[in-house]
A = this chain, B = another copy of it.
């Protein structure tokens, strides 16, 4: 029997560092992970959307998980992003991730044959993966990337599987988050998929978040969780609202290139993105820096 993995707290979907030649930079990957483990983060999603997983080859993925497995300590969760379009390939990758030390696997909905991804297909897909996986499965819904929206009914059915323990919901649909938590008898672990709605998500039952912003602003996000747990709602609200522009800057507005540039700004390793993604221009970088400064994220950095 699989032991229950607790998903409480803040997790960044870590970006994959590349060197100047476009190769995975394992030294900086390890260095970043070491630095992050000194912050209040509770663990790491390795090879999510922000990890440029779809731009990596299979061998690169395994090597990245290998490094992550070596560097991430037992006091932090290692979540491997293993989902791809093929059920069989997802099963295989999940197995590999587990062997390389992952505590859980996050599985994005298949995203190419969108019109075919109905309730029945998705239930069978995830059930097959969960049945075959040595580690617990976390559903991952991110319509902005996939064009597929995992519905409440499907999630509620999948939540009954003993090896499916949670959901990363990136759509911002707090009603669905509340609904699936409620219908699972308060057992299913919901994670906010963006730092922009962490607090509202917590109020309807979420236990934490997997948020790009957590890679550059772990402290304020962790403080939101803490304030919420202590009933300091006004303080939680003020932190949350002060982070919205910064959150957009490292997600919808400037994308992964923005997240990496933000890491560079705080003295960690961001580095280049892989094509077709483009680096930020000079003006975009200046805007990013201004937003981060206003959000207080650069305090103590310089």
Contact = CB atoms under 8 A, between A and B. Distances in A.
A146 B146 CA distance: 8
Interface stretch (A37-45, A260-268, A269-277, A282-290): A269-277
B255 A179 contact: no
For this chain, the copies found in one complex come to 4
B145 A54 contact: no
Contact of A175 (B122, B197, B203, B204): B197
B87 A275 contact: yes
A230 to B, nearest CB: 10
Contacts of A125: 275-276
Contact of A113 (B197, B228, B244, B255): B255
Nearest to A118: B278
Bin chain A's interface residue count.
35 or more
B114 A145 contact: yes
Contacts of A196: 175, 178
A173 B194 CA distance: 13
Given A145-B112, A178-B241, A124 B204 contact: no
22 contacts: A54-B113, A86-B274, A88-B274, A112-B145, A113-B256, A116-B255, A116-B277, A116-B278, A121-B277, A146-B147, A174-B174, A174-B197, A174-B200, A175-B194, A175-B197, A178-B237, A178-B240, A179-B241, A181-B241, A203-B203, A205-B241, A233-B233
Given A113-B277, A203-B233, 5 more contacts: A88-B275, A113-B255, A116-B276, A182-B241, A199-B204
